[in-house]
Amino acid sequence: MLDYYKILGIPRNANHEEIRRAFYYRAKMFHPDVNSSSKSLKRFQAIGQAYETLIDPEKRKKYDLILQFGYDNVIQTITKKKPHADPKYRPGNKMFDGFRRYGKKPQKKDRKIIIFENILFSSLLLIGLAAIWFASIELMSTSIKTREHGMRGMTFGATFIIILLLGWRYVVGRRF
């Protein structure tokens, strides 16, 4: 791993201004337009990367941790799993596999809410059936105008009931 502090030629406790000054000095010195050596481009890119990391406090903090403890140790600390609450638990233990599949149980609804939903559904279904009933009565009449109204009512009632059943199943999640 590259030591960004050595690349910029600054101490580890350098402040923001020292980092900025060191970057401008080194960048001018190794810029490909100024320095035509074959290694100057790679060196210039390393200086830019060092500056970008050290000037940002969050990136610098992470970099310092990695530099101090090593990349593998920092990653292990971040991804370290907490021990299971049950001391008998071992990963792959057949006894505990069943619990992992199901997760949390869904919360039960309050009884009053279920009763309200059932009354609301029944009322809306009754309205749809009443629309079909009255439409069928109008269809049996002799007047052409009344039959037209009957067809519209029949269409409305059937559409209303279909939308009600599908929507209720989607929202409440119950089958009929």
CATH code for the domain in which residue 61 is found: 1.10.287.110
Residues 65 and 11 in one domain: yes
**Tens digit of each residue's pLDDT (9 = 90 or more) over 66-123:** 877 776 665 666 555 566 566 665 555 555 555 555 555 666 778 888 888 889 889 9
Residues 8 and 52 in one domain: yes
Range of the domain at 158: 111-172
Whether residue 89 is contained in a domain is answered as no
Nearest to 24 by CA among 41, 46, 48, 4: 48
Domain boundary among 60, 79, 98: 79
Q: Of the given ranges (25-34, 54-63, 131-140, 142-151), which has the lowest mean pLDDT?
A: 142-151
The whole-number average pLDDT for the span 149-171 is 86
Residues 61 and 120 in one domain: no
Residues 60 and 18 in one domain: yes
How far, in Å, CA of 127 to CA of 161, rounded?
A: 9
Average pLDDT, the chain: 80
155 backbone dihedrals φ, ψ, rounded to 5°: -65, -45
Whether residue 105 is contained in a domain is answered as no
Number of domains into which the chain is organized:
2
**Tens digit of each residue's pLDDT (9 = 90 or more) over 112-151:** 888 888 898 899 899 999 989 988 888 887 777 777 888 8
- Confidence check: pLDDT of 32 > 80: yes
